[in-house]
Amino acid sequence: MVESFKLFYSDKWENRKKINELFAQKGNCDDVLIIKNGWVTDSSYANILFFDREQWWTPSTPLLAGTQRAKLLEEKRIFERPIRPSDLKKYQSFKLVNAMIPFDLAKIIPISHIQ
């Protein structure tokens, strides 16, 4: 997880300099989970979904409310809520989705993979 207080939607879509700076902090991880002002947002390239053994949740504080995320919310396949890093222990797994990675093709990853 990496924290950013000055990252905005346009940075993720138009100018990836700040996203790339956060991504550079990933160490030996595959990606970063971005935290802004104490709230979980997205990864560097996708929206994140969390599974609590009953349903899928997405943070209500994304940097970019992507089209795949919007579609899943509209279809009521996922639901949104504010999520803090301390809430992650409530979930068993997660998926990363975007326009190129639809829900049904996204890998289910154990929550323990988030460091």
pLDDT in tens, 9-59: 544 556 677 777 777 777 787 888 989 999 999 998 899 999 999 999 999
CA-to-CA distance for 14 and 82, rounded, in angstroms?
25
Query: How confident is residue 8, by pLDDT bands cut at 50, 70 and 90?
Result: low
CA-to-CA distance for 43 and 96, rounded, in angstroms?
8
3-state secondary structure of 41: strand
Q: Which domain holds residue 42?
A: 2-113
CA-to-CA distance for 24 and 69, rounded, in angstroms?
25
CATH number at 35 reads 3.20.10.10
CA-to-CA distance for 11 and 64, rounded, in angstroms?
9
Region of 15 (left: φ > 0; alpha: ψ -120 to 50; beta: rest) is beta
Chain segment 97-115, per-residue pLDDT in tens:
999 999 999 999 999 999 8
| Cα dist from 12 to 26, 62, 75, whole Å | 17, 10, 25
Residue 49 token pair: 């979904």
Q: How many domains does the chain have?
A: 1
CA-to-CA distance for 20 and 115, rounded, in angstroms?
19
